[in-house]
Amino acid sequence: MLKRIFTSELLRQILSFLFVSGIGWLIDFSGYFALTTWGGFSVFLANCISTVPAILWVFWFSSRHIFAANKTGLKLYQKYLIYFAYQMLLVVGISFFAEFLHVQFMASRLTDYGFLYANIKMLIKIVITPITMTMNFIVVKSLLEKL
């Protein structure tokens, strides 16, 4: 059973999606870093803005190279609109969570640690990434292959 999982199409999709999402994350993180470090943006607003180009990249590449799109259901642009709406809800929710973590950190004694204080916004972005990446895999796979 385990051997079938590791040689399956699903594993190929997961690994491919991780790679493509990793590139998307670099796009997202670069924008986030610039907005929070040089632009003075809040964690919430920077996260909302920086994710848009990454969302476009991941969906575009995934729909062409990772998942076998169901051709009998919704058109690709309709799936993208659904994905984009889902992403906006996810981004707003996760951005509120990230901002909450930032506020909690700034109110704690952890600010006494120089490294944490200097890098907390970036560390928060890293912490929220596995949550969003897992949810995105499930949603993109479902949208492209089932609808």
Domain boundaries, the chain: 2-146
Report how far residue 137's alpha carbon sits from residue 25's, in angstroms, rounded to the nearest whole number: 13
Report how far residue 47's alpha carbon sits from residue 41's, in angstroms, rounded to the nearest whole number: 9
Rg of the Cα atoms in the chain = 17
Report how far residue 100's alpha carbon sits from residue 111's, in angstroms, rounded to the nearest whole number: 15
pLDDT of residue 66: 93
Mapped to the 3 state alphabet, what secondary structure does the chain carry? Answer: CHHHHHCCHHHHHHHHHHHHHHHHHHHHHHHHHHHHHHCCCCHHHHHHHHHHHHHHHHHHHHHHHCCCCCCCCCCHHHHHHHHHHHHHHHHHHHHHHHHHHHHHHHCCHHHHCHHHHHHHHHHHHHHHHHHHHHHHHHHHHHHHHHC
**Tokens found for residue 102:** 């930032």
Task: Give pLDDT tens digits for 77-136.
Answer: 999 999 999 999 999 999 899 999 999 998 988 778 788 888 888 999 899 999 899 999
Query: Between helices 9-33 and 43-65, what is the axis angle to 10°?
Result: 150
Please determine, for residue 1, whether its predicted confidence score (pLDDT) is greater than 60.
no
- Name the pLDDT band for 5 (thresholds 50, 70, 90): low
pLDDT of residue 117: 82
Please determine, for residue 27, whether its predicted confidence score (pLDDT) is greater than 60.
yes
pLDDT of residue 30: 96
Higher pLDDT, 73 or 46: 46
